[in-house]
Structure 1
């Protein structure tokens, strides 16, 4: 599968990504078949969130890819706006995915300036993401919002 560099991150990601949301709706063996086929055909970008099925999506993915981590670009999301809650979600994702780091953490669902301000203020989720990056838990940070004119990469 063709891959391209993701912005200035240096990460090489497949043109077709694998979203984990709907894995909550299917049995673990079917999820394993789908994800294994995707990886075997050269896909490498997985995007999930700790909140999907209260972590069930990440747990399914973690079990499937725990021995293939070096092949993957793992991106997870948090919609939590405070530092303590965001760090808890990052740690939860790491545990669920059975990995020591995320390649990307998204501050997700930023719908307006108030959301952005909550993320950026002292004690906001960006503070936790930066700390997680310093600790090696996260490689790249992204603030993503449909209502903002552009996403911000850190």
Structure 2
């Protein structure tokens, strides 16, 4: 406990694969307090609290409506944080519009990681790597200093990210890497061997299954770290939730057998309730979210 009753922790850091950058094992997921859920000042306060706690990896996107909050929260601290933002566009012109908007809203002249978002089909990969496409733009932005590293996210088909890794020298991938995903899509078998072989940075998302695994909060996060994630992005909606997540990152020990059984049982009940993966693989336009999420669904922008 620090002066004034402010909770402080010392979070573990890991090297984000071949990027060579040290990042906190807990990343701040801003989507959970985006989409108009919180006022700008409140969101910026959450970002500042995360920095106080040693969280250096910040995940955002302009359509989360949190980039302005992140920009406010990191003012004066830009060099000590790692900012990741995204585009879900599949052509150069609209992807470039996204990048320009993100830089403006974040109040910075570069982002540490630019992620091609929601890459769930082979067609998505092919569109991104096509000559003159978004990844050509990303490479140019990297050479120009607007982007330090390039990556992809995938919500439902880790084999698609594995396919992408064989076709483009991605610096980072961000798959869904929660226990629900272990039970349904098996990224440990279809994606993680390629990640290790290529020394790719590995960022985990959906570790709490959009809140479905909150009953096993610590175990759910540590499961992703145990699989080799360099950072696990955790969605929060308050400073108290940031503190709870940060505490897991102090000493993220492997799960013991009882924790693993409880987490697998909870995840299994969610899979049975949803009759499969909660992020439906066949839908690249809308990602289903748990009913408790305000707004019900996350729109992932047209692919045009």
Q: Same fold (TM over 0.5)?
A: yes
Contact 2:41–2:69 under 8 Å retained in 1:
no
1:80 to 89, 93, 98: 89
Contact 1:87–1:132 under 8 Å retained in 2:
no
Matches for 1:1-154 after TM superposition, within 5 Å: 1-24=11-34, 25-52=37-64, 56-145=65-154, 146-149=156-159, 150=162, 152=165, 153-154=170-171
Contact 1:111–1:147 under 8 Å retained in 2:
yes
Contact 1:66–1:99 under 8 Å retained in 2:
no
> How many residues are aligned here?
151
User: Which has a greater percent of strand?
Assistant: 1
TM-score if structure 2 supplies the norm length? Answer: 0.48
Match of 2:202 in 1: none
- Gapped regions of structure 1 (runs ≥ 5): none
Higher relative contact order by CA 8 Å / sep ≥ 6: 1 or 2?
Answer: 2
Per-residue CA deviations over 1:46-87 (Å, capped at 9, x if unaligned) read: 0111221xxx31011112212110110001111001111111
- Looking at structure 2, the residues matched to 18 and 131 of structure 1 have their Cα atoms a distance apart, in angstroms, of 28
Structure 1 residue 16, shift from structure 2 partner:
0.7
- Classify the secondary structure of the residue corresponding to 1:130: helix
- Classify the secondary structure of the residue corresponding to 2:97: helix
Contact 2:91–2:128 under 8 Å retained in 1:
yes
- Classify the secondary structure of the residue corresponding to 1:86: helix
Per-residue CA deviations over 1:106-147 (Å, capped at 9, x if unaligned) read: 111111111111101112111111111111000111123241
- Gapped regions of structure 2 (runs ≥ 5): 1-10, 172-304
Contact 2:128–2:134 under 8 Å retained in 1:
yes
Structure 1 residue 28, shift from structure 2 partner:
2.2
- Looking at structure 2, the residues matched to 143 and 35 of structure 1 have their Cα atoms a distance apart, in angstroms, of 23
Structure 1 residue 105, shift from structure 2 partner:
0.6
TM-score if structure 1 supplies the norm length? Answer: 0.91
Q: Which shifted more, 141-150 or 99-108?
A: 141-150
Aligned CA RMSD, in angstroms, stands at 1.4
Per-residue CA deviations over 1:12-41 (Å, capped at 9, x if unaligned) read: 110110011133211223213221111011
